[in-house]
Chain A
Amino acid sequence: MKDTPKTLPRYSATFTPEVNAEIRRAAATGIYDIRGGGAKRRVPHFDDLLFLGASMSRYPLEGYRETCSTSVTLGARFAKTPVELAIPVTIAGMSFGALSGQAKEALGRGATLAGTSTTTGDGGMTEEERGHSAKLVYQYLPSRYGMNPRDLRRADAIEIVVGQGAKPGGGGMLLGQKISERVAGMRDLPQGIDQRSACRHPDWTGPDDLEIKILELREITGWQIPIYVKVGAARPYYDTALAAKAGADVVVIDGMQGGTAATQDVFIEHVGLPTLAAIRPAVEALEDLGLRREVQLVVSGGIRSGADVAKAIALGADAVSIGTAALVALGDNDPAWEAEYQALGTTAGAYDDWHEGRDPAGITTQDPDLAARLDPVAAARRLYNYLSVLTLETQTIARACGKSHVRNLEPEDLCALTVEAAAMARVPLAGTSWVPGQVF
């Protein structure tokens, strides 16, 4: 007799094996999943945009012969000494504590070779990064770990962190494994505890107070250096307007794909706007205040290639900032360490338990043996190479669009592949003149 035909085993699209595994993990431990990195889900992104290039009505520029400048000045609104960068790509704030001293040194060296700035992070300024960074932005965070007037005065700019794209509204976390003696000392905390950084600043709330806080920081630094305000992408129009009104020289907007050292997965995946959706409202806010270009806009969150840089600039950014990509350039998640990733129960490219401090690549760790695996000079060279490629790619696109300076890229140079991206970026759907939501 023939077998009766059977229904094939079928996984639910709602209760996928991954979802069920997480339910079992939660049931076993009673604690949420903490991890590093940014949103892993797919959201509308720069991949959903294309450049149109030159055609009958636009002249392109000759590849190697005609100049296409990339320099950018940040912070000339109020600062006597603005930050002058050779390229429109900066290194985002990543804390010493999350990263090893060697990794911070490599970021400083690589950024300096490329003529751009790097940024401190939660946990204060280290000698490694100050010594090796020609331009160093000093973050002013809610935790105020390691904050002091001496470092403030030797910074090239101050970045007041209101929020981060990975966790708008969330504070920091650094778990006990990474609170080494040095990290604990810099943060004035006991060694080995699970440490939570505050999510709100301790001595101001709201934009009116922020204006006074900015005044204080300017008075302490003699109005010399620029003050940036960094926000996670949430309400970009109002956040940008309020930051500019409070007196920021530069507004930094970080989208939800932006990396973090350690945050609850639920926060990373479910709070905040995609980078793509945040740029146009921020630019509009500056235009409405008559401050476009006077206050610069820096965009971060998921920037990987020169195409991403060019698209962010075309939508209105003055510069972009990178975190995750810089770490990958240093050597993070390199398949060369696959056997060790396997031993940690993961695989190269998916490793995100940065908070555990056991990074085989020696970047997101405070373990001296692991950290020693990263040669800061060689890693800096890789970062420099990568930054050079980002710049060359950005120039390639800008020239194709006929621009002699990358900043001249504009929304008009773009079209969108999806209706969602067209609506968020406010550019026409490819092959049409339709911008969803635009009323003529």
Chain B
Amino acid sequence: MSTLDLAETSLRDVNAALQSLNGTTNQTAWEVLNPRGAHALAVGLDAPVEVRVKGSTGYYCAGMNAEATIHVEGSAGPGVAENMMSGTVVIEGDASQYAGATGHGGLLVVKGNASSRCGISMKGIDIVVHGNIGHMAAFMAQKGNLVVLGDTGEALGDSIYEARLFVRGSVKSLGADCIEKEMRPEHLELLAGLLERAGADATPEEFRRYGSARQLYHFHVDNAGAY
């Protein structure tokens, strides 16, 4: 295990050390001490390494992550794992706004709750939230899967494209063009895999599926009120 301590090392040096790792490194296990809410921590990683952040982080932790597995042993500020490409990010606590925003791939797991706009503009990422999520989750979500074990806030999936949303608890309200959809065997199978990878104690049959009604895919006067 290699250790980086933000009490002694600058953010730039910590990130540079983690970013310099590539697929051939033998040092695959890292821990980062004293994050104390630092912004932009462990961003732009590009190797199959494992990083444990021993505390809570500020904005954009694990931003644009590729391949790395990043555990935050605390809570994460806004935009955690934004635009993630691949790899896994696990937040032991809660996540603030825009968790997983625009993510293209990989898996984001939030063990606590996630705030508003979780999965906004998601483009292929999988997000599993063990607790509840706030309003406007999956706004304009394009691709990927959002799984919520708890309840959701208002306007879930507003203006959604082709992302799939699975919710076990209650949905306060659905956003424009988002509807409940039939849970078919392939969805149950997909969900089972996601729950397992996220270490979530739930069965697929407990969930409902939501997605796009595809009514706003073409501009039309009769939809004007919905835009």
Which of B60, B82, B142 is A189 in contact with, Cβ under 8 Å? B142
Q: Which of A164-217 contact B (CB under 8 A)?
A: 175-176, 187-190, 193-194, 196, 198, 202-204, 209, 212-213, 215-216
List residues of B (16-47) whose CB comes within 8 Å of A's CBs: 16, 19, 39-40, 43-44, 46
In the complex, are the beta carbons of B142 and A212 less than 8 A apart?
no
B39 touches A212 (CB 8 A): yes
A188 with B143: CB separation less than 8 A: yes
Determine whether the beta carbon of A194 is less than 8 Å from that of B120. no
Q: Does A219 contact B (CB under 8 A)?
A: yes
Give the segment of B126-134, B181-189, B202-210, B213-221 that binds chain A: B213-221
B196 to chain A, nearest CB (A): 25
Q: How far is the CB of A239 from chain B (nearest CB, A)?
A: 22
Q: Are B161 and A189 in contact (CB under 8 A)?
A: yes
Cβ-closest chain B residue relative to A173: B219
A190 — which chain B residues lie within 8 A by C-beta? 161-162, 217
With an 8 A cutoff between CB atoms, is B173 at the interface?
A: no
Q: Mark B133-169, 1 if CB is under 8 A from A, else 0.
A: 0000001101100000000000000010110000000
A152 to B64, CA, bound (A): 10
Contact assessment for B104 and A148 in the assembled complex, using a CB-CB cutoff below 8 Å: yes
B161's closest neighbor in chain A, by CB?
Answer: A189
Instruction: Kindly state whether residue B95 has any CB partner on chain A within 8 Å.
Output: no
User: Inside 8 A of A187's CB, which chain B residues have their CB?
Assistant: 142
Indicate if the CB atoms of B40 and A193 lie closer than 8 Å.
no
Q: A120 to B197: give the CA distance in the assembly, Å.
A: 37
* Residue from the set A29, A148, A215, A216 with the largest chain B CB neighbour count within 10 Å: A216
CB pair B16 A202 closer than 8 Å: no
In the complex, chain B residues 70-94 whose Cβ is within 8 Å of any chain A Cβ: 78-79, 82-83, 85
Which of B's residues lie within 8 Å of A, judged by CB?
Answer: 11-12, 15-16, 19, 39-40, 43-44, 46, 58-60, 63-64, 66, 78-79, 82-83, 85, 97-98, 101-102, 104, 117, 120-121, 123-124, 139-140, 142-143, 159, 161-162, 217-222, 224
Residues of A within 8 A of B (CB): 29-31, 143-144, 147-149, 152, 175-176, 187-190, 193-194, 196, 198, 202-204, 209, 212-213, 215-216, 219-223
